[in-house]
Amino acid sequence: MTTINKEEIQKFSKLADEWWDVKGKFKPLHLFNPIRIEYIKEKIKYHFNKNNNFLEGLKILDIGCGGGLISEPMSRLGGEVTGIDASERNIKIAKLHAEKNNLKIRYLKKSPEQLNEKNKFDVVLNLEVVEHVDNLDLYLSSCYKLLNDNGIMFTATLNRTFISYLKAIIGAEYILRWLPVGTHDWNKFIKPEELERMLGTKKFKTLDLTGLDFNPLLNKWKRSTNLSVNYIICSKKN
C-alpha cells in the first residue's frame, strides 16, 4: 500500500527548478509562507510552552517538502528538520539550496509510510499535501505513528466548495495563471468537517481550525474565520 500518486509527483517534478523563483510558478507559495510560518510558530510556542520564537530541541517533519520552502525557515528557527518528498527532483533541489545556505536539514526521498516509525517527531507539517496523495486513510495513520505522544500536527489544504473552485481552479490556474493548469483536482479538495472526522478516527484531537484569506489589494494573506477556500487544522494525539 502506498500514498504516492505518481501523476501528482510527476506534475511537481516538472516544476522543481522553479521552487526558489519568487516570480515563478511557486509565487503563490512564497506569498503564502509568512502567514503559515507565523501560525505554526504561534501554535508551537503555546503547545510546548516556549518563551521565545525559536524551536530549539524540537524534531520537525515536513511532508511533501518540495524545494524546502517551509523546511528552511523551520531550520533557521532552530528546529531539527527532516523534509521528505516522493519526487527525487524536489529532494535534489532542496538539498542544494540548503547546502548553499549552510542549513543542516535531512532530506529524504520517501513518503510517510516508508519512514521508520521508531524515529518520532514533535511536529508534523502537512501543508498543501493531503489533496495530492492517494489513500488518505493510510497517510493520516502513518502521520499518527510518526508523531510523539505530546506532538502536534498541522494540516493545511483546500475546502471543496463552489468558491474554492472559482478561486483556486478558475482564478489561480486559468485567469491569473498563478499555477499551471491542472495543478489541482477540485474533487480531491476536502471539507474541514470531513478532515476533522478523519483525523478523529485516527485519534487526533483538533486544537484549532483557522481559515486563510488572500487580499488581492494588499497582495497578502491573513487569518480568517472564512473556511471556504484555504484552511489549516492544528491537532494533537488524543
Quote the Cα angle for 123-124-125, to 5°. 120
At 238 the pLDDT is 85
**Strands of the chain, DSSP E:** 59-63, 80-84, 106-108, 121-127, 147-158, 204-215, 220-224, 230-237
Question: How is 140-181 classified by DSSP, letter by letter?
Answer: HHHHHHHEEEEEEEEEEEE--SHHHIIIIIIIIIIIS-SS-T
> What is d(CA 144, CA 184) in angstroms, rounded to the nearest whole number?
26
In angstroms, the CA 76 to CA 104 distance is 9
pLDDT score of 15: 86
- The alpha-carbon radius of gyration of the chain (Å, integer) is 17
Structure confidence at residue 183 (pLDDT): 83
- The confidence score (pLDDT) of residue 77 equals 95
82-115 residue pLDDT tens? 999 999 999 999 999 999 999 999 999 999 999 9
d(CA 117, CA 147): 9
pLDDT, residue 154, reads: 98
Rounded Cα distance, 109 and 91, in Å = 6
Q: pLDDT tens digits for 19-61?
A: 999 988 888 889 999 999 999 999 999 999 988 878 999 999 9
Beta-carbon contacts of 9 under 8 Å, excluding residues fewer than 6 positions away, are 86, 87
The proportion of the chain whose per-residue pLDDT surpasses 70, expressed as a percent, equals: 100
What does pLDDT average to over the chain?
Answer: 93
Q: Can you identify the CATH homologous superfamily of domain 6-158+191-237?
A: Vaccinia Virus protein VP39 (3.40.50.150)
Residue 117: pLDDT band with limits 50, 70, 90: confident
pLDDT of residue 128: 94
Q: What is the pLDDT of residues 159-187, one digit of tens each?
A: 999 999 998 899 877 887 777 788 889 99
Tens of pLDDT, residue by residue over 1-25, are 899 999 889 988 888 899 999 988 8
| pLDDT tier for residue 143 given thresholds of 50, 70 and 90 | very high
Sign of CA dihedral 129, 132, 136, 142: negative
| Per-residue pLDDT at 26 | 87
Three cell numbers, residue 106: 535531512
pLDDT at residue 148 in the model: 96
pTM of the model: 0.93
d(CA 49, CA 203): 23
